[in-house]
Every structure is written in structure tokens, then in C-alpha cells.
Structure 1
Amino acid sequence: MKNLNKFFAASLLVLGLSAQAQDGDNPWALSFGVNAVDTRTSANGSGVFDQPFKVKDNWNIFPSVSYVSLNRYLADGFSVGATGSINRITKLVYQSDVNPMDYVAVNPGDLEYYALDGHIRYSFMPLIKSKVIEPTLSIGGGYQWVGDFDAATLNGGAGLTYWFAETVGLSWQAVYKYSFADNRANADRATGIPTHFQHLVGLTFRFGGVDTDNDGIYDKYDACPDVAGPKNLNGCPDTDGDGVLDKDDSCVDVAGLAAFAGCPDTDGDGIQDSEDACVDVAGIKSLKGCPDADGDGIADKDDKCPTTKGPRDNQGCPYPDTDGDGVLDKDDKCPNVKGVASNNGCPEVAITSEAVDRLNAYAKTILFNSGKSSFKQETFAVLQSITAILKQYPTAKFSIEGHTDSDGKDAANQKLSEERAAAVKNYLIENGVAASRLTSAGFGESKPIDSNKTAKGKANNRRVEVKLVN
């Protein structure tokens, strides 16, 4: 019992020294179960492996939980650990001094067996890429107490664990313990500590991984360690199931799109609902997500004629053109009679010869300041009359021609006639006559209509003529 106390004290010391840190994926492994001690061996090792499983004749099995082992994973398949075990030696097998090929089994008197062993273990599990089968090799050393004897051993072992759950497995290990005691194999020292095999079978539990939120994902891999979430989202929750993590989701309770930070776009028009004025109908961004069927720039919901283009000032409806002349009624001065745009929707009227005569009669009375192209005040009434006649015939085109008498130099007269014709033309344009209908030209003194030898003749020659252009 004295040795038993030593064993448990040493075991607690090893466990206390080994269990100082917990991190990683379940880095700790605790095993316990039954052990068997096989002392069939020899000084030269010739009989060590000839009958490894002769259980009934050679094995000492303690019929209770008789070992406990604690391992700490390091890295790259390597781990370190310690094992404490107890047994009772009732079958001590040793090599005969008479015939070294013979082995003798004796009962040394139910000797108590205690062992405390340390090891470095390598797991082949990463190499074979298995999540169930774990073969291992180990090397280490220990100290054994048998009866009143004790000695150190050099250990080498192999093991196999079947993991039938992530953290629970059934393990087997065989360890060859080479004893450094002088009396390890002789019959005369049968109560010594021989070199022997120890077999261990039991359950192994892995632990030490931290999963704060209990979502099955260890904190070291969990992007949201304090909130439970699915594995495919690295442990973060997605309440609305839209694939956008709650921590990145602006609309946690409503399924949406990643492009809109988890907020929905019900009508699929690329505009999220919070910015969409027409949530249930696809539309365009310029109209805040509302449709414009006729493409007139007015949202259908505000368009009185959603399938026909129309101006905004008519609520999206086209203005009518009752007479079908291409001039909308709002601009048509003859809305019920086909006309032309140049005549404001009214029918085109050919200018009469009487109208031309009246124009020229008015033109002859246009008075300019002497030697200038500026009008005398009394001429403006004449110009207004000419303007009124031209507007009555909006499609007719005219040439404004200027003439002078023979007084003065030819060049000066030519220039003055051009300027006076242009002055009349500009007045008409400024007062609403289309510039495309008018041209102007000056002929100086080259086209007299009367004699330049009399004052009356000269007055007749100083004139402006309005001619119809066919």
C-alpha cells in the first residue's frame, strides 16, 4: 500500500503539471481502462515476440480500471503525455537457466505493480487523412515498482484508436518496456523487475476546445464566438437566411441581397426597397424605381397616358391634333382645318398681286434720314403695315431691294442702297417675320425708274421695293 500511495501521488503530480493550458481543437486527451502485463521475455530478447498473445499463460490482467493517461497535443501530429497504471503480478515468466529456449511461469506472490510513464507520441491520422482511424507510435520512459523493487524503463509503443464520435474513441496500445534493473530476467531474481510488455485498452476522451456559444464551432474558428451560428457561415448567425451575416446585415429580419447589405429588392430592378418608390413593380433608377412604359420621362403612376408619350405639362398625355396637320391644337390657329406649320396650322394662302402692289405702294413711302439708313419717325407706321401683310402669307418669300438717285459717287450710292435695304429687312425680322423668308440687296443708282435730271425724278429713284420671290 505504501507503493500505491507513491503511485497516486506521482500521478497527480504529472496531471497537475500537464494540465496548465487549454487551447486549440480539443488538445487534451484523457484515457482510462484496463491494462495487462506480459513478462515473457529473455535477457537476449530471443523470446520476446514468439508468443505475444498467449493471454491465459502469460498475461497479468487487473480486473478493474487500472490505468489513466493524459495527453497534450503539440503540433504536426506530435503530442506528449503521461500514463499511470496498477496491476498485480501473478504470472512471472522467465527464461530457464537449464535450457534458454524454455520459459518458466511462476507465481511470485501476487506482487503489486505500479508504473508511471511519460511519452512522446506521433499520430498518423493527418497522413492517412482519416477522421475515424488513428494509428500511433510512441517513445518514452518510465519508472516501475514491483514488490519491493523499483527501476527505470525505456519504452516504445504502438497504438490504434477508433473514434466513433468526434471526441470519444476506443483505444488500444502495446508498450515494450526495457528494464534497466540488473535482475530483470533471471529465475534466481524472480521478484525483480523484468523487461515486459504492457497492453492498455480503454476509452479516450478529447477535450479542451472552447465553444462559448455552443454552436459546434470552436472559438478559434468561430467568427462570432459569442453568438450561435451555422458552420457554413463560420459560426455567425443569419437570422433571415439570406446569406448575409447579421453583423453585416442592415435588414436582419428580412431576407435581402448582399449587394444591398442584406436589404431586399422585391421587384428585382436593382433598387433596394428603402429607396424604391414602386416596391412591387420594376422600374428605373432615374424615376426612383418606378416604371415608365412609354418612355416619356414620367413615371406610370403619375402619367395619365402611361402607354403614350406626352409632355409633363399635359400629365404625360400627348396634345391633340384634331385636324391631323401635324400642328398640335394648342399651337394650331386653325385646329379644325388642315394647314401647314409655317402658317400656324392654317391652310397656305398664295399671295395675291394686289397684296404685292400694296407692299410696293407702302415701300415707296419709306423715308430715310438724308444720306443715312435710319428711318424717319413717320415711316414706322408704314413698316408696321408691310409687316402685317407679310404675316398674312407666311410661306411667301420676298427680296428687299434698295435704290438711290445719281447724286454723289457711285460707290457711296451702292453702299447706301444696300444699308437701306438691310435696315428694312432687319426691321421685319425683329417684328416677327421669319428671316428665312427675306433677302436684301442694294443696286445704287444703276436701276432708275425716272429721270435723274429733275427733283421729282430723283425722288422717285430713291426708293425701296418689295419683290415676291418665286
Structure 2
Amino acid sequence: MKHLSKIVLALFLIAGYTSVQAQDANNPWAITIGANAVDFYPTGGDAPLGGNFEDYFNTNDHWNILPALSKIAVSRYIGAGFVGELSGTINKIDKYGDQSLSDLSYYSADLSLDYSLRALLNDGWFDPYLGVGGGYTWIGESSAGSNISNLDAATLNGQLGFNFWFSDNLALTIESKYKHIFDTDNASHFQHSAGIKFVFGGTDTDGDGIYDKDDECPEEPGLAEFNGCPDSDGDGIEDRKDACPNEAGLAEFNGCPDSDGDGIADPDDECPNEAGIAAMNGCPDADGDGVKDSEDNCPDEAGPADNNGCPWPDSDGDGVLDKDDECPEQAGPASTNGCPEPTAEVMKELNEYSKTVLFDFNKATIRKESEDALQSIVDIMKEYPQTVFHIEGHTDSVGSDSYNMKLSRERAASVKQWLQQHGVPSNRLTSEGYGETQPIATNSTAAGRQENRRVEISLDKDKEMKDSATKKNM
């Protein structure tokens, strides 16, 4: 025991670097094993005993030490810093104060209530405690001349001890206990002990084998690798970090599965069992037309969404899709929205009729006998409902230029008006007068001038293209 101070100092240094829990509600049980020493001398009795606490540390002359395992104790944390302890010790008594004896057997059983002062010292590694209790001591028959009497007796105990914690579960314990016997002071004594305390047990609310103090999820059974938190689907991602805790998944998807392996987690995948693309929210688009296959009536042919993913047909093969083709069964140019245009033969026929249109002299009034020719023109024009026809008025060179220009415009406008009144839509007709500027024969003869005084019909391509562009933009 002469090296005790050195041992304690070393433990102070070790424990000073350690954060410990010690014996508390999370580690309620403890077992202590160690050695004990019995000292009768400093009890204030008659000789050969000394005064109270006299030579208290005289280990060589007065202490009875059994150099072996001689103490065992079991303790339980009660609460609020209190610990109950049951201990048993054995020893050999060969010193009664200054008097030597033959070896007497020594046995004791003690029950104590200890109060830890550790909380008052900021819950560190140094844990002093005070205790009171009682017990029973058995001492073998003393030899002749010994002052020891009342050898077997109950004792009232008081103790001071120190726990030096250097881990959550392990401490060095040093204790000095005074055992008082009331019938006589002869057998009252101090019992000192030192030992190792092992702490165990604790609260495990969820029964997962991990004490609540170490369990980050104390209300849910879990795994040690996740500090007591569960991993319900066994995918290696604890539930509290798992977006899909009941389905095994991948870390890259926060624990959610990707059943079709398309790189899109099932919760975000509208087609979780078919590999798809992100643009389609995980659904496939085999023809790449931007319409997912489940909504595509033609999944293997690219087509617009407004035709359910199918390509628009062009029934007449004129390059104008049926959806834009006002004559889907007849080939025609885009300028007439897919409807056919009059052929050269048709235009020739129109102009044969137009040549027979007569006006009153120097007027724009159409003569009655021209109406049959005009009606024939109406009938032909109705066969081409998308074609824009241009009515041209021409004169001979007799008269002033301005007069001839004015008269030609009025006559072309009269023909246009008549055609409109008889069924040709106004948006399919334009008119203009050209006066004497576009003769087709000489103005030197009466026959030539007669040919120059005429109404002609042509196609208005510019108007057709404008109408077609306007329709597409609508």
C-alpha cells in the first residue's frame, strides 16, 4: 500500500483525459472486486489501541491485509445520486492495535446507502461519495490475553470513498469504512478497501440491445451500426435518412429504388417498370417525338402531340398535310392550302368567256346579253374555292390616258361586283384597270382596237400567298 499515492496520481492523469458516464440510470449495476485491510488501532479504545484516528495511515504496524481477492460488492443506482451496495469481505487478523495475535478469521457482510458528490463537481472523472449502513461481522475466537470481545456482532457503518472513473464502465474505488459495535468498543474497527468497479446494465426502452444513452432512436428497435436507429428495408441506409424506408434502394436515390434502371428513382418515375428518359418523367419515348409511348398512338413513328404522336397524313401527296389541306383528296400547292389551281386550259376558257362581256358605250355598265358568259365564269371559279382570281380591265388608245385608265378600272370593278353578287367570295377576287398600257393588238385599225378593249382574268398569286400565310398563323 506504500505506493498507493503514486497509483492514484497516475489514475488522475489518465482519467483527466477521459469523458465518462459512471454509475447512473444508464449504467445502474456495478460489481466491485478488490482487497481490504482491517485496522483496530485508531478507534479510541483501551490499550493496545490508540486514540481516534491516531496512526490512521500506519499500514505496516496496524493494518491486517489479506494479499488476495478479499472483497466483492454488488451495487445498484437508485436515483438522485444514491447507490445501494451489498458487500462481503474476508480477512485474517494478526494485529489488534499494537498487539500481535495468531491468525483469526474475519468475515463481514454489509449493506450501505451511498451518496455521490460527483454531480457537485461537474460530473467529471473524480467521484467522491459518503455512505451509511450496517452489517454483521464474524471474527474467529481470540487467543488468551487478547482484549477482543463480542467477536460476532452487528455493526453500524459510516464510510468515505472515491471512485476514479477512467471509462464509462470502469473505475478504481478506494474506501475507508468505520464499523462500530455498540456492546463494546473492543471490536469496533476501520476497514479500508481498494478495488476495480465494473459498471453495466442500463435502460433499453426499445429492447434492441443498445442502451438508451447510446441509442439515437431509443423508441425504435434498431442496429448498432446506426447507433440504435432502424433500417427497415435493409438497404444499408437508416430509416431517418431513407426517403423510401420500406423499400430497399440505393444511396444515390436517398434509399429509394430504381426498378427499371433508368437512373430515375421510382417515386419520381411515372413509368417505374419501364426504362425511360428524364424529359418524359421516366417514361419511354421510342420514336423521340416528345410524346411518351403510353400516350403515343404511333410509338414507332415520330409525330406531333396534337395528332397523338402520329405523323400527319398527306392523302393526295401534294406536300400539304391533310390537317392543313382544304382539298385533301386533290393535289394542290400550299399557296391554295392544298387545293388545285386552274390549268392553262381552264384559264383560257375563262378568258374566252370574258372576251364576250360587253359594256355600254363609254360606260362601265354590263350589258344584259353578257350575263350568260359571266355565269359560266362563276361556275368555273366555284370549282376552285381557294384560288384568287384577278379581273383586269383594258382599253384601246382612243381618248386620253387618264380617261382610259379610269374607265378600265370601273369596268373591271363592275365585273368583280357581278361575280361577287352571284356566288364568288370577295376574298377570292381582285380587280384593277390598266387603261391602254397593255395592248394585245395594234390600235391603228378598228379590229386591233376591238381586241384591246377587253376584260381578262388571271391568277392573283400574291394574294393567295398572303391568305395562306395568314391562315397558318391563326
Corresponding residue number in structure 2 for 1:396: 388
- Report the alpha carbon displacement of residue 176 of structure 1 after superposing the two structures with TM: 2.9
Change (3 A) 1:90 1:300: closer
Change (3 A) 1:72 1:389: same
- Report the alpha carbon displacement of residue 264 of structure 1 after superposing the two structures with TM: 3.3
Match status 1:69 vs 2:62:
no
Superposed, 1:87-166 pairs within 5 Å as 87-88=90-91, 90-92=93-95, 94=97, 104=98, 106-107=100-101, 110=104, 112=106, 114=108, 115-123=110-118, 135-143=126-134, 148=150, 152-161=156-165
| Contact kept? 2:33, 2:69, Cα under 8 Å | no
Aligned equivalents of 2:157 and 2:228: distance in 1? 47
Q: C-alpha root-mean-square deviation of aligned residues, in Å?
A: 5.8
| Contact kept? 2:29, 2:76, Cα under 8 Å | yes
Aligned equivalents of 1:425 and 1:47: distance in 2? 143
What amino acid sits opposite 1:437 in the alignment? Answer: R
Q: Deviations over 1:178-207 (max 9, x none)?
A: 5677999xxxx6x2414x351132553522
SS in 2 for 1:90: strand
- Report the alpha carbon displacement of residue 141 of structure 1 after superposing the two structures with TM: 1.8
Match of 2:195 among 193, 197, 201: 201
- Report the alpha carbon displacement of residue 157 of structure 1 after superposing the two structures with TM: 1.1
What amino acid sits opposite 2:28 in the alignment? Answer: P
Give the TM-score, by structure 1 length. Answer: 0.54
Unaligned runs of 5+ in 1: 1-22, 95-103, 365-378, 402-416, 430-434, 441-464
Aligned equivalents of 1:256 and 1:66: distance in 2? 56
Change (3 A) 1:307 1:73: farther
- Report the alpha carbon displacement of residue 290 of structure 1 after superposing the two structures with TM: 1.6
Aligned equivalents of 2:422 and 2:70: distance in 1? 123
Change (3 A) 1:360 1:240: farther
Aligned equivalents of 1:425 and 1:242: distance in 2? 85
- Report the alpha carbon displacement of residue 138 of structure 1 after superposing the two structures with TM: 0.5
Corresponding residue number in structure 2 for 1:175: 175
Corresponding residue number in structure 2 for 1:84: 87
What amino acid sits opposite 1:428 in the alignment? Answer: V
Superposed, 1:51-70 pairs within 5 Å as 51=58, 54=59, 58-61=63-66, 63=68, 65-70=70-75
Match status 1:281 vs 2:286:
no
- Report the alpha carbon displacement of residue 90 of structure 1 after superposing the two structures with TM: 1.7
Superposed, 1:48-447 pairs within 5 Å as 48-49=56-57, 51=58, 54=59, 58-61=63-66, 63=68, 65-72=70-77, 74=79, 78-88=81-91, 90-92=93-95, 94=97, 104=98, 106-107=100-101, 110=104, 112=106, 114=108, 115-123=110-118, 135-143=126-134, 148=150, 152-161=156-165, 169=170, 171-178=171-178, 191-194=186-189, 196-202=190-196, 204-210=198-204, 214-216=208-210, 221=215, 229-232=223-226, 234-241=228-235, 243=237, 245=239, 252=246, 254-255=248-249, 262-265=256-259, 266-269=261-264, 271-272=266-267, 275-276=270-271, 279-285=274-280, 289-291=283-285, 294-297=288-291, 299=293, 308-309=302-303, 316-317=310-311, 319=313, 326-328=319-321, 331=325, 339-342=333-336, 344=338, 352=347, 355=350, 358=353, 386-389=378-381, 391-392=383-384, 394-398=386-390, 421=417, 424=420, 427-429=423-425, 436-438=427-429
- Report the alpha carbon displacement of residue 339 of structure 1 after superposing the two structures with TM: 4.1
| Contact kept? 2:75, 2:86, Cα under 8 Å | yes
Aligned equivalents of 1:341 and 1:311: distance in 2? 26
| Contact kept? 2:93, 2:104, Cα under 8 Å | yes
Corresponding residue number in structure 2 for 1:47: 55
What amino acid sits opposite 2:55 in the alignment? Answer: G
Give the TM-score, by structure 2 length. Answer: 0.53
Q: Deviations over 1:2-42 (max 9, x none)?
A: xxxxxxxxxxxxxxxxxxxxx95342324345433345646
Percent pairwise identity = 13
- Report the alpha carbon displacement of residue 172 of structure 1 after superposing the two structures with TM: 3.5
